[in-house]
Structure 1
């Protein structure tokens, strides 16, 4: 499916969200270091866990509201809310006032609004794109995010230290502009079957009751539930990209030589090393996501998901075994391969499982892989204080292997179910 054939909603979102993501990634990779320095590793880790608890509930709420009140409406509200949170965050790091705790609260609010935005945005793609083209469209959106991961940290390394306040203001303004663009140039796509009539004399708690009833149906889908659990375990590896990795490189990489060019020697410290491998990850994703997705489509989904988790386990062990910059670069290449293997397939798998009238909620529930995963993942930071980096990386690799086993069982159940449906 060519870009010019895309629905206007998707074209507007692709370019608007790309600009938003670039500015966001100019400072986001450095926030873990900022909070660790402000609160200490132990307290920062638990605060990050605490902030993600709210995102878990917001994510479920986002799926419900996307199906009931519309994809567009929830995306506009979320983008506007993020903009306000970023502007307050800017005030918390401004030349006139400094408050790491206020900054942390704003960071948590950004996560909450992002969790509401995500299921609506994913459901909108499934609404307007034929099933055969969804993997490629999701892959292109994923690529755009990772272009931002390449460009953002590079620009952030230049501007973040001296112009942190200005960056926060810029991303806040861009978020609000994105909300206005979505409001003016996109249309609602929620299927009529997803909208239920509201009881005229309904009580205030009917909303919650209906939501819990719908999610009960999702939880009873054993295949989908196993998909979420396996995803949460796998997330313990790839979530470390902006949690454990920046702290690890800062602590272990000290002015290492990257290469020599004549009489010039190019060296990196810990923070620069993290920026380098993060940009490497983003560059590889930007260049190879569509190619790898098309390649992976030719294999059985089961084998792709299982092998991806195994490759994650290998990559995380490689990270824990070295602090040499070129070793970290090699580990990131393996890590990125694991990421790309399922980048376009996951959303398509979810849309195939989800009934049309519950698509937003299925995407929201599927996002629990990330919200619950991100809630648990920060424990790795205080864990390094208790048991050291080596054992921490080893435990993360074991979790990835458990994820591979769950994917294997899940897909056997899924394939048996589809085979029985064809017989009937």
Structure 2
């Protein structure tokens, strides 16, 4: 589905979210370093454990409100909160105010995302959703590749200017949403009895709604499988960083005229990280197209297999080029999975509760981020191959759960189109 044929809602969002994500990755990778330098590494570590909790609350609230108030108002609310918090961060002279602003930025993004994803599902036929979601991911990951390189200069030397630029871009995006984006909430959601309830009952009723969702056996198995599938994928920024920096010796990248470019363990990790981001940008769209005829069951299983085996294989050799090759394997495990997760839940969720399901779906990443660092904790007592074996076991557990999921849930024919 070519971009020129997209609904104007999607075009505005693609441009706005791509610009914002570029700016986001200019500051986000350096936030822990920033607070660590100001407040101490131990305190920074504790502080960084709090934002995911607010993100979880924001996602659940944003998803619920998207089904009650509509997609557009919730997107406006999330973008407005982020704009205000970036401005607060820019004018702040206190590190604690900075921290509050940082939490507020994350909360605004968490409120925004379920409504944004639900809008794609509202507008795009099921057979085209994988491709549309993949296009958004490509735009976002261009920022993830370019942003840190630019931000390494701008965040530490021109932080206020960078933050004001983020606020200005979000303000322009907010104006574009207000004037161009139209509401897409399905009629079936508008006509539900809950739509006429007073605001004082929103939170109580939404909690009941999520209770019903989590009693949905298919959805619960899907969430559990996703948590275990994401743990190996998340190791790139966690145990793999520790392993490569501490265990991989310095070695030449290439040699010429009797000389060579020697990379340290830290530099090798940086190259692996850059390769991972570059592969995602270059291949998420082609890979989505290659696998468009595959059933979701097989894509989920392939993803867990590639990411689990790929991560495990990293422990078998410390050769630089071998590490590059294995990075390609586990990165493809991440790439094949990403567009399918959103297309699956957008199709599985009832039309009137699509926002709630999108919000609840974010728990995979939140809980995965909470559990994934256990590998770093255990690495003080367990040798590397023991950690890699644990990661592989978690990947196989996710495969078993996906097999069980699709035994009790039958895919609709259009999902494989």
Query: Which TM-score applies when normalising by structure 1?
Result: 0.85
In structure 1, what is the equivalent of residue 80 of structure 2?
Answer: 80
In structure 2, what is the equivalent of residue 22 of structure 1?
Answer: 22
In structure 1, what is the equivalent of residue 175 of structure 2?
Answer: 180
Equivalent residues of 1:153, 1:278 under 8 A apart = no
Q: Which blocks of at least 5 consecutive residues in structure 1 are unaligned?
A: 420-424
Identify if the C-alpha distance between structure 1 residues 254 and 37 changes in structure 2 by more than 3 Å, giving closer, same or farther.
Answer: farther
Identify if the C-alpha distance between structure 1 residues 341 and 25 changes in structure 2 by more than 3 Å, giving closer, same or farther.
Answer: same
Number of residue pairs matched by the alignment: 412
Does residue 335 in structure 1 map to residue 330 in structure 2?
yes
| 1:135 equivalent among 122, 130, 140 | 130
Distance 1:103 1:87 in 2: 10
Does residue 116 in structure 1 map to residue 111 in structure 2?
yes
- 1:298 is displaced (CA, Å) by 2.5
Does residue 298 in structure 1 map to residue 311 in structure 2?
no
Name the SS of the counterpart of 1:26 in structure 2.
helix
Name the SS of the counterpart of 1:259 in structure 2.
strand
- 1:322 is displaced (CA, Å) by 5.6
1:139-190 per-residue CA deviation (whole Å, 9 max, x = no partner) reads 1111111222222233234544444444333323323332222222211111
In structure 1, what is the equivalent of residue 394 of structure 2?
Answer: 399
1:175-220 per-residue CA deviation (whole Å, 9 max, x = no partner) reads 333222222221111112213466888472x112210222222122
In structure 2, what is the equivalent of residue 422 of structure 1?
Answer: none
Distance 2:376 2:101 in 1: 21
Distance 1:368 1:265 in 2: 46
Equivalent residues of 1:149, 1:278 under 8 A apart = no
- 1:126 is displaced (CA, Å) by 0.6
Name the SS of the counterpart of 1:258 in structure 2.
strand
In structure 1, what is the equivalent of residue 69 of structure 2?
Answer: 69
Name the SS of the counterpart of 2:16 in structure 1.
helix
Distance 2:164 2:250 in 1: 32
1:241-274 per-residue CA deviation (whole Å, 9 max, x = no partner) reads 4445555555556765433455774454566544
Distance 2:91 2:321 in 1: 39
Does residue 210 in structure 1 map to residue 211 in structure 2?
no
- 1:363 is displaced (CA, Å) by 1.1
- 1:361 is displaced (CA, Å) by 0.9
Distance 1:144 1:66 in 2: 24
- Segment drifting more, 157-166 vs 111-120: 157-166
Q: Which blocks of at least 5 consecutive residues in structure 2 are unaligned?
A: none
Distance 1:252 1:214 in 2: 48
Equivalent residues of 1:42, 1:381 under 8 A apart = no
Equivalent residues of 2:305, 2:399 under 8 A apart = yes
| 1:224 equivalent among 219, 224, 232 | 219
Query: Which TM-score applies when normalising by structure 2?
Result: 0.87
Does residue 189 in structure 1 map to residue 184 in structure 2?
yes
Distance 1:159 1:261 in 2: 34
Identify if the C-alpha distance between structure 1 residues 259 and 378 changes in structure 2 by more than 3 Å, giving closer, same or farther.
Answer: same
- 1:320 is displaced (CA, Å) by 4.6
